[in-house]
Amino acid sequence: MPTVIPSAQKLPLAVRKNVRDEYENKKADFEEELSSILGKPWKIDINPNAIWVYTEEGGCGRTSLDSCLSSYVSGAIDNIKSFIDEHHDLGKDEINTVCAAHTLTFEFDESGKIHYSGCDIHNGRLRMLFQEKYLGYNVHYALQKLEDALSAATPDAALSYTARHSIAEYWDAKLPELKEMIVKQLNNPAIKIDPNWEEVYAALKASKSVQENWPEWEKTLGRVMMTYFNDGFAYQLHCNKFESDDMLQEGFAEAVHKGEVKFRVVKKLIKDSYCEPVVEDGVLYLQTIPEEWTTNCYYIASNIVDVL
């Protein structure tokens, strides 16, 4: 485990002066910029005395703690800008909600889990972290894994932030086009499409196989689900010419009389080895097992006519 060093009671005069002149005097500007980006008042709360004790002779921060702190803060602001450019209001709102204290801080990583620099959310504060003997390394990338930190901050959520972002980017954005395609093939404007997010997420999260074989499954959840529905279901309707075949449309409507297509993850499949369509109680289920998540998703409804 890393060695925790008590905070210095007092810094050398030259260091104190540099921190005052070159960091403290810039802090208000940093806070204003950060607040502007996040749309709410934010503050920066860093204890230079607690950082300086980890500096080494000739290393970053020993005599230039001011520029070291400023570099970490400016790097964090740049990381947050880039994050919001990619994640938009969803990301901004998540930061403001999870980091309820609206405070950016900088501390030594006591867990030993990071290497050079990293971040987490602790007591509602967004913390930049550095590791023992690596103060001053990768100063501009402390918040590079902000998305992971946001998800880790709410481990019991029905959907992690990473999953919700994936859904927003790959599912929600393309859902109107998918719905239009399915409605056209089935001649049914009332058809319901249910990805069953929370139950699917819970099943995948609980699967050891998924964790080991698809470590990025949360980041790709929305894209994979869209593939199951778009390429695996809607495209198979197209291949079977549902759009121009009244008999097929009527057969679908009779079998799937509740007008709902729903995805689910089950423990055991009925006929197929990877994924399959099943009609139960008037609902068409597209289903797979955790061990075969993403496998053959293009063919999940290849035998759609046979099951109607």
Tell me what pLDDT residue 246 has: 97
Handedness of CA 66, 99, 83, 29 (dihedral sign): negative
Q: What is the CA radius of gyration of the chain?
A: 26
pTM comes to: 0.92
Pairing of strands 283-288, 260-265: parallel
Q: Is 109 left (phi over 0), alpha (psi -120 to 50) or beta?
A: beta
**Cβ distance 42 to 102 under 8 Å?**
yes
pLDDT digits (tens, 9 = 90+) for 189-232: 999 999 999 999 999 999 999 999 999 999 999 999 999 999 99
d(CA 152, CA 149) in angstroms, rounded, equals 5
Tell me what pLDDT residue 132 has: 83
Tell me what pLDDT residue 60 has: 64
Tell me what pLDDT residue 61 has: 65
Residue ranges, the chain, pLDDT below 70: 58-61
Tell me what pLDDT residue 85 has: 98
